[in-house]
Structure 1
Amino acid sequence: MKKGKVLLASLSGSVIEWYDFYLYGTATALVFSTLFFPNHDPAISILIAFATFGAGYAARPIGSIIFGHIGDRIGRKASLMLTLIGMGGSSFLIGLLPTYAQVGVLAPALLVLLRLIQGIALGGEWGGAVLLATESARKGLRGLFGSIPQLGVPIGLVLGTFSFTAISAFTTEAQFMAWGWRIPFLFSAVLIVLAIWIRSTIEETPEFQKKKESGQIAKIPVADLFRNNKKDLFRVIGLKLGDGFFNVFLMSFILVYATTYVGYSRDQALLALTLSCATMIITIPIVGYISDFIGRRTIYIAGLVAMIALAIPYFLAVPAGTGWFFTMQILLLGVVWASIFATQGTFFSELFPANVRYTGLSLGYQVAAAIVGFGPMLWATMGDRFGAAPYLFGGFMIGGLLISLILSIFSPDTRTVTQYEEHAELGDLGEPEMKITPSGKQLNY
């Protein structure tokens, strides 16, 4: 199987899934709070709208169990095809929904239902896309391969925010609120058809194929996961929490923070977000490649320390002017957080054996995502009461980052201690060389 085709299949679906997911985040701040959750108090409308945003995050662990089971039992490819259909179909239908003014409470109820379907689908997409790449990589390139599906986040968000920016530029405010906002959601149908076609041409990953041929498939992956690998499951949850809160702020809530509490225009906030995501597209593969030489954990720790150091300066700089706002947004999201995110797929997946890897990787990541997804509700309350409050917001972020930093210090260097089977990646079906770790755990090399 050609590596380029595998990476394209991994990236294409990831881009579209995150395009759809972050379309909702952008629309929450710009559209949904007005059209689906009208209230005489704008702060309450925003709070309720972000509750539905968080509902999508809360649904992601459910998707990780469902699609993790399919991915670990039937195959990575089958699971990834289903996640595309779920995500694309729900996003397309959001573009067709009537508003509160047209059908009353049925409108927000349908919106929440489709958001839940989005979250369930994404809960299975991310882990599968990462494994499609990493389980097809040769030894010494897993960090680079694992960073490619991570590009789906900035590319998807750039496409989503660009679509809203472009449509906003060519429509009046009334036209945008009436029908313009629907176009990006409807366009997702075209992208989904393209991604399904690309993924239909690939095969299963070498490592999963070998496990299936040898009969080493877990009957109930989530049960095996908690029986044998729960320590690493909880490790992944903690590792993701700190940067997860900051990530949700920098990529979603920043639109509300900058426009509502600081005073920037919608276009200025969207431009800052777009520029920082464009920077991530450059940062992620470079850092992924470097991680194959110096290790995932080293980069992870350095990135968390940098985020802790820049947390309060970021919130002080945002109100200081557009130059500072753009610079700090690009630095913190486009460079520092992108460096952490570039390593996460490979770092986390290397903690689990192949028979529960899809479930373990997805569930750990998505449980953390479910927790941080409700951050905007808390921040909306904080902002409504205290305004921009740089020390309050910065201190909140530092607290979460410290949890992840402590866990990362005590995590293994997965570049050298891994549960991947190198013989399967290299296409050699002979017996792997085994190594016993100091804890007595048998790992494959």
Structure 2
Amino acid sequence: MKKNRVLFASLAGSVIEWYDFYLYGTATALVFSTLFFPNNDPTVSVLIAFATFGAGYAARPLGSIIFGHMGDKIGRKATLMLTLIGMGGSSFLIGLLPTYAQIGIWAPAILVILRLLQGIALGGEWGGAVLLATENAPKGVRGFYGSVPQLGVPLGLVAGTFSFTLISSLTTNAQFLAWGWRLPFLFSAVLIVLALWIRNGIEETPAFQQQKDSGEIVKVPILETFRTNWRSVLQVIGLKLGDGFFNVFLMSYVLVFATTYLGYTRDTALLALTISCATMILTIPIMGYISDYIGRKAIYIGGLVLMFLLSIPYFIMAGQSVSMFFIMQVALLGVIWAAIFSTQGTFFSELFPANIRYTGLSVGYQIAAAIVGFGPLLWTAMAVSYGPSPWIFGGFMMAGLAISLVIALFTADTRKVTQYEEIEGLEKEQKPSNPLVDSLTLNASIKK
């Protein structure tokens, strides 16, 4: 199996899945609150719209159980093909959905159902994409490989926000609300076909194939996960909560916060988000590379500490001027959070053995995602009561980060202590062939 195609397959599908998922987040702030959840009070419309946004996050644990079961029973490849179809089909149908003015209450009802299907699909995609990369990684480069599918988040969001920005600039506001917003969702169909073709050309991961050949496939992965590795599941949930809340704010709710409470234009908010995500495209692989030298834990703790210290300054300075808003957005999202996120796939997956790795990794991560996905509801209520208070919003972020920081301090350095098995012949079959990966393979072998 050619390692470059494997990495491209893990990245391509991840990009498209996150493109679809974050399209909804952008449209929630810009379109859905008006077209699907009309109300005389704009705040109520936003609250209801973000409730459906959160529903997508709430559905992700269900997806992690369904697709985690499949990934640990029938294989990573087949499961990832299904998650793509689920996500792409839901997004395409959102682009065709009539509005509240056209079909009444059925419009928001169907929209919520499609959002739930998106969440279920994404609940299975993330863990599988990570394992597709890390279970094919040569010794000493797992951190770098594991960071590649993480690029799907910024690339998908950049593609999604760019598409909205481009269409918004080419249409009047009336045209944008009438039909322009639909085009990015409809374009999903083309992207999904491309990703399916790419993933169809790869083989099963060596780790799963070894489990299958040895007859070590468990009957019910979710039960085995909580029987033998429940502590690791709780670790993943706690490790993800702190940066997860801040991430949802910086990548989704910031569009509402910046336009409604800081007085910036929609285009300014979208541009700040796009630049931050473009920065992440550089930060993520660099920090994944570094994690193979100094460990995931060191980077994770360092990132959490910086986010904790900058929580209140972010909310103070973001409202001072457009330039400060851009600087703080890039620093918090594009650099610090990206450094944390670059390690998460590898860090979390190294806590689980191969026979339940898909399930354990996915369930822990997606339960945390379900919790933080309702952050926008809390923040809207906070903003109504206290305005854009740096102390209220910053204090909220610090509380979550403190929980994750404590757990991180008591988590093992998985670069040295890992549940990944060495697969005989993998290093030889996938010997690095470019200078970057060649240098990485000089690292000491990861011990079981």
Scaled by the length of structure 2, the TM-score of the pair is 0.95
SS in 2 for 1:422: coil
Match in the other structure for 1:98: 98
Code of the residue aligned with 1:409 in structure 2: it is: L
Deviation at 1:234, TM superposition (A): 0.4
Pairwise CA distance, 1:423: 2.7
Paired position in structure 1 for 2:144: 144
What residue number does 1:17 align with? 17
> What is the deviation of 1:422?
1.6
Q: Which amino acid aligns with 1:165?
A: T
Residues 52-110 of structure 1: per-residue CA shift (max 9 Å, x gap):
00000000000000000000000000110000000000000000000000000000000
Structure 2 Cα separation of the partners of residues 119 and 424 of structure 1: 36
Cα RMSD for the two superposed structures: 1.1
Counterpart AA for 2:246: F
Would the aligned equivalents of 1:138 and 1:422 in 2 still touch at CA under 8 Å?
no
Q: Which residue of 2 aligns with 1:435?
A: none
Task: Show the counterpart of 1:359.
Answer: 359
State the secondary structure of the residue aligned to 1:215. Answer: coil
Check whether the contact 2:242–2:400 (CA below 8 A) recurs between aligned residues.
Answer: yes
In the other structure, the counterpart of 1:394 is: 394
One-letter identity of the residue aligned with 2:295: G
What does 1:224-373 correspond to in 2, within 5 Å? 224-373=224-373
Partner of 1:411: 411
Sequence identity of aligned pairs in percent?
A: 73
Contact 1:137–1:425, Cα closer than 8 Å, also in 2: no
Partner of 2:51 in structure 1? 51
Q: How does 1:69-148 map to 2 (within 5 A)?
A: 69-148=69-148
For residue 440 of structure 1, what is the aligned residue in structure 2? Answer: none
SS in 2 for 1:63: helix
Q: What is the alpha-carbon distance in structure 2 between the residues aligned to residue 425 and residue 99 of structure 1? A: 56
How far is the alpha carbon of 1:425 from its aligned partner? 7.1
TM-score (norm 1): 0.96
Please name the residue that 1:41 is paired with.
41
CA distance in 1, matches of 2:277, 2:423: 36
After superposition, what is the alpha-carbon deviation per residue over 1:156-211, rounded to whole angstroms, capped at 9, x for unaligned?
00000000000000000000000000000000100000000000000000111011
Q: What letter matches 1:285 in structure 2?
A: P
Offset from partner CA, 1:112-161 (integer Å, 9 cap, x none): 00000000000000000000000000111000000000000000000000
- 1:275-307 per-residue CA deviation (whole Å, 9 max, x = no partner) reads 000000000000000000000000000000000
Distance (Å, rounded) in 2 between the aligned partners of 1:272 and 1:72? 40
2:113 partner letter: L
Contact 1:64 1:359 in 2 (8 A): yes
Cα distance change on mapping 1:293 and 1:249 into 2, 3 Å: same
**Residues 50 and 377 of structure 1 are in contact (CA less than 8 Å); yes or no, is this contact kept in structure 2?**
yes
SS at structure 1 position matched to 2:318? helix
Q: Residue 432 of structure 1 corresponds to which residue in structure 2?
A: none
Deviation string 1:362-398 (CA, Å, 9 cap, x unpaired) is 0000000000000000101111222111110000000
Q: Is the 8 A contact 2:138 2:427 kept in 1?
A: no
**Residue 208 (structure 2) pairs with residue 208 (structure 1):** yes
Amino acid of the structure 1 residue aligned with 2:377: M
Whole-Å separation in 2 of the counterparts to 1:154 and 1:423: 31
Residue type at the aligned position of 2:109: A
* Pair 324,355 (structure 1): closer, same or farther in 2 beyond 3 Å: same
Q: Retained in 1: the 8 A contact 2:416–2:447? A: no
| Residue type at the aligned position of 1:300 | Y
Q: What is the one-letter code of the residue matched to 2:147?
A: S
Structure 2 unmatched runs, 5+:
430-445
Secondary structure of the equivalent of 2:136?
coil
- Quote the Cα distance in structure 1 between the aligned partners of 2:188 and 2:428: 40
For residue 272 of structure 1, report the CA deviation from its aligned partner.
0.3
> Is the contact made by 1:251 and 1:273 (CA closer than 8 Å) also made in structure 2?
yes
CA distance in 2, matches of 1:4, 1:425: 17
Distance 1:179 1:381 in 2: 31
**Take 2:427 and 2:140, find their aligned partners in 1: how far apart are those partners?**
15
**Segments of 4+ in structure 1 off by > 2 A?**
423-429
| CA-to-aligned-CA distance 1:12-52 (integer Å, 9 cap, x gap) | 00000000000000000000000000000000000000000
